[in-house]
Chain A
C-alpha cells in the first residue's frame, strides 16, 4: 500500500511537471513566433518607407552595415531587382509567390514555406511600394526554435529539482498515510484517533473482536467442562479420530495405559495398547458398529466398549470406554461357584434320601432295619433343612435384613441362651461349654447375633476332640469396644486356609466334611452378620491347638 501510494503520487507529480513544461514550451514558442512575424512585418513596412525615400541604394547601404534579415526587392513584373542573400540575376520570377500575390492585391502579404533557395522553413512578409514593385523581408523560423532551445536546459534542471522534491514528498506522504494504519492497535481499535474513512472498518473490527472473544470464552468453558467431566469419571475414556489417531484421553485411561505427558496425542491408538481386544473394538467401531472386548493389564481385568461417533451423518471417530471389571468379574466367578456348590450340596442329601426311600418302598429291608433307615432319611432331611435355612439366612444378610431396626441386646444372656441350646450336642461329643465375662449391651439384631454366636459355638464343638472345651467370653476391648470371643482347643485351622474359611462352602478338609456335618456356610453367616453390625472379625488359630475367633463390636 505504501509503495502504491508512493508511486501514484510520484508519477502524478512527474506527469504534472512534464505537462507543465510542454505547455510552457509550446506557449513560449507560439509567443516568440508571433513576435517574430510582427517584427518581420514591421521591418518590411519600415524598409518600404525608407526605400520610398532613398530608393534601392538604401538597401545596398543597409547591407554593408551588417547581417540582417533577407531582403528582396521585386519588380512589378516579378523579376528580382535586389536580394541581399543571393545574386538577383540568378533568381526566378517571384510573381506567383503567395506573399507577393497577396501584397499586390492588399498592399501587404505574408507566407510561411520551404524556401527553394535556402532550403529552410521561412517566413515571408511583403509590402507593395508606390511604384508597384514589392519589398519582401524573410526570416527563417528556426531562429524561434533556437531561442526556445536556449531555455530547455533551465527547464530540464527545474524539472529534475521538482522531480526530486516530488520524490521526497511522495515518500513522506505515503509514509504519513500508512503509518497510522500500521500502528492500528487491533486489540482495542476504538481507543485511537484514526482517519475518519477508516472508522467503519475499525468499528467492524471491534465488533468482530468482541464476538471472537465471546466465542473463544465459550469454547474454553466447554472444553473445561468436558475435561472436568472426563477427568472425574470413574471410567477410562479415549477419543479416537477416523484414522485411529488418539485425540483425547482422560486421566484414568492414562493411568491404565501408563502414558505420561502428551506423547500419545495424534499417535495411533495401538501405541497405547496393542492387545487383540483393543484392535478389534477400534476396528469394529470404525466400521460403524458397537464393539466390546476384555483385556488384562497389570493383573486387572478391563472391559472395553467402543462406539462410532457421527457428525452430520458422517463418521468422525470412535469413543472408547474403559471399565475396570476386576471386582465384578470376581463377584461373577464367586456367584457361579456358589451356585455350583449349592446344587452339589443340595443334591448329596437328596440322593441319599431318595436311595433309602427307594429301598424301603421296594420292601427290600428287614423290619428291624427300618428304624435305622428311617433315621438316615431323617438325618439327611435335617441336614437339607439346615442347609436351606443357612442359605436363606445368608441371602437375607446379602440383601440386607428385612428391618434394620436395632435394639439393645444383652450379649452375655444371649450367649448363655445359645450355649444352653447347644448343651445336648456338646454333651454327645463330650465337650464342655462355658460363658464368661460381664453383661454388655450392644445395639443390633437379636436374631442375627444369635445366629452368629450359635454358628461360632457350633463350629467350636464340631471341630473338636472329645474332652475338649469351648468358651465364650464377653469383654470390654480398647477404647470402649465390646469383644465377643469364642475359643476352642480343637483341631485348629492351617495357616494357608485361614484367609479362606469365611468363604461360602469352603472346607479345610473336604474329604471329612460330611462326617463332621455342617453346611460350610456357618462362618460365612458370621462374616455377614459382623458386617451388618459394623463389627470386625479376628481369627487366631494354631493347627492342633485350637482356634479363637473374636467379634469386635464398635463403640456404641
Chain B
C-alpha cells in the first residue's frame, strides 16, 4: 500500500518538475521573442502555455486522487497541498509568458527592450523560476530562501525600467507595452517567490506568510 503511495508521490514529483521545466521554457521563449522580435517563438510560447494549463489539470487531478484515496498525513499531506498551491503559481507564470508573447505579436518593442536592458531583468526572473523549481527538486531550504531574497533584484529592475520609460511615454505607444512586459516579468518573480514559499512549507511545515 505504502509502496504504491510512494510511487504516486514520485509521479507527482516528476509531473511537477516537468511543469516547472515547461514554465522555464515558456519564459525563456517569451523573453527571446521580445529581444529578437521573433513572432514564431512567440506563437510557440503561447502554444506551450496551453500545455502548461493541461499539465495543471493533470496534476490537480492526481493531487485530489491522492488526498481521497490515501488520506495522507503530516509530511505527505504538506507535500501534496504545497503541490496544489504551486501549480497555481506555475500556471500563472505560463499565462504571463503567454501575455508577453501576445504583445510581441502586435507591437515591436525590440528597440526599447535593448535600450533599457530588459534582458537583465528577464535573466533575473528566469533565474528565480529556475531556482524555485530547483529548490523543490532538491528540497533545498537555503535555495528557497535565496529565491525569496532575489525578488528585490527583479523589483529594482522594474523600477529602473519604469523610470527609463517615463521620458518616452508621451511619444511612443511601445513604451507602455514594454512597461506591461516589465510588469509581467515582475509578477513572474512574485510567483517564483510564492513557489519558493510553498517549498519552504513542504519542508518545514511553516508558511512564511503565517509567521
Which residues of A come within 8 Å of B, CB atoms?
Answer: 244-245, 263, 266-268, 270-271, 274-276, 279
Contacts and interface: CB of A to CB of B under 8 A. Distances in A.
Interface of B: 10, 13-14, 17-18, 20-21, 24-25, 133, 137-138
Which residue of A245, A268, A279 has the most chain B CB atoms within 10 A of its CB atom? Answer: A268
Contacts of A275: 21
A263 B133 CA distance: 16
A274 B10 contact: no
B47 to A, nearest CB: 14
A270 B17 contact: yes
13 contacts: A266-B10, A267-B13, A268-B10, A268-B14, A268-B17, A271-B14, A271-B17, A271-B138, A274-B20, A274-B21, A274-B133, A275-B21, A279-B18
Nearest to A266: B10
A268 B13 CA distance: 8
A274 B18 contact: yes
A274 to B, nearest CB: 4
A271 B21 contact: no
A271 B134 CA distance: 8
A276 B18 CA distance: 10
Contacts of A279: 18, 21
A544 to B, nearest CB: 35
B133 to A, nearest CB: 7
B25 A276 contact: yes
A403 to B, nearest CB: 54
Nearest to A259: B138
Shortest 9 CB-CB distances between A and B: which pairs? Answer: A274-B21, A268-B14, A270-B17, A271-B137, A274-B17, A270-B14, A270-B18, A271-B17, A276-B25
Which residue of A245, A263, A271 has the most chain B CB atoms within 10 A of its CB atom? Answer: A271
Nearest to B20: A274
A270 B18 CA distance: 7
A268 B10 CA distance: 8
A270 B21 CA distance: 9
Nearest to A275: B21
A275 B130 CA distance: 11
B14 A244 contact: yes
Contacts of B21: 270, 274-276, 279
Nearest to A260: B138
Contacts of B24: 274
A97 B13 CA distance: 105
Contacts of B133: 274
Contact of A245 (B10, B25, B138): B10
Given A274-B133, A276-B25, A267 B10 contact: yes
Nearest to B130: A274
Nearest to A269: B14
